[in-house]
A = this chain, B = another copy of it.
């Protein structure tokens, strides 16, 4: 039997927890350890696993095949990505779209120098949605691509709502417009404004004595976050927030609509309906860890993206088995 792929987890928030759950679903992998900046003895794991201070990563290079970086894109990954790509094969979910080219360069150099493989920006967007944008455009070059997000909880917009004075708690859901989706699915290739594609729905708990109307106004007029959308604000109590809005569902659609001739329209659609956004993202990271391990063994080093990874590398099955069973 082949040796299991030895995985390390750097960072134990929602994503790290999801990676631990995903490893348990993949019999060809094992979890070597969870590495944290907190006191490892204080870290509560969802299921038992070795816990280490993150500084131990300097010494564990011969014990881990792939290190999955589960930190955030704002401050964790810009530091950890280049640092650990010099020591390990890595997978991360860097998702600040505009900074990906720059991030790629900072990770590529140390990974190449160390003979390591570093897969950046995996997940579903960037990630599976990006792959489907590329496939769609390549298969139907005379066409238009549309990405819709939701219905789902947006972490960034929920944070923005919670920063409004008078708000004690709250969440924001992004809702794709059914009318817009229907037009796209019909192959009409419509031009859609920001307002026509998505609505935003907020559930807010007020602080004692806060002015509901002022809070509502502050939210719906907030620049960049809400002013270009039709936004609804519903006020609820703290118990309702905890009971009905604790999950992190998300998803969306990538639709490519195009013509292969003047007469013939074709529509390709990829959609996700996710019960848990972080758990799905984590599952994607773990599948790409398998691919990264194989790419490194094949001598493909340096930074890579999901565009560089052949689909078969994600599967535990051999190429011959995939041809016989899945083609």
Interface string of A85-102 (1 = CB under 8 A from B): 000000000000100110
Interface string of A288-320 (1 = CB under 8 A from B): 001000000000000001111111101110011
Q: Do the beta carbons of A134 and B101 come within 8 Å of each other?
A: no
Cα separation A25 to B201 with both chains bound (whole Å): 41
Given contacts A101-B320, A275-B264, contact A138 B287 (CB under 8 A): yes
A5-13, A123-131, A190-198 - interface stretch: A123-131
Closest approach, in angstroms, between the C-beta of A135 and any C-beta of chain B?
Answer: 6
Q: Do the beta carbons of A260 and B139 come within 8 Å of each other?
A: no
Q: Do the beta carbons of A284 and B139 come within 8 Å of each other?
A: yes
Q: Do the beta carbons of A276 and B283 come within 8 Å of each other?
A: no
Closest approach, in angstroms, between the C-beta of A271 and any C-beta of chain B?
Answer: 5
Taking CB as reference atom, which chain B residue is nearest A322? B307
Given contacts A265-B275, A272-B266, contact A305 B280 (CB under 8 A): no
Q: Does A104 contact B (CB under 8 A)?
A: yes
Given contacts A25-B142, A314-B138, contact A100 B324 (CB under 8 A): yes
Cα separation A266 to B268 with both chains bound (whole Å): 20
Closest approach, in angstroms, between the C-beta of A222 and any C-beta of chain B?
Answer: 27
Cα separation A128 to B225 with both chains bound (whole Å): 36
Cα separation A327 to B74 with both chains bound (whole Å): 17
Which residues of chain B are within 8 angstroms of A216 by Cβ–Cβ distance? none
Q: How many residues of A contact B (CB 8 A)?
A: 66
Q: Do the beta carbons of B272 and A314 come within 8 Å of each other?
A: no
Given contacts A139-B284, A271-B269, contact A327 B311 (CB under 8 A): no
Given contacts A97-B327, A266-B273, 17 further A-B contacts (CB under 8 A): A133-B326, A134-B314, A134-B315, A134-B326, A138-B290, A138-B314, A185-B273, A187-B275, A260-B279, A264-B275, A266-B280, A267-B272, A268-B271, A269-B270, A269-B272, A307-B311, A308-B312
Interface residues of A (CB under 8 A from B): 18, 21-22, 25-26, 97, 100-101, 104, 121, 126, 128, 130-131, 133-135, 137-142, 185, 187, 260-261, 263-276, 279-280, 282-284, 287, 290, 305-312, 314-316, 319-320, 322-324, 326-327
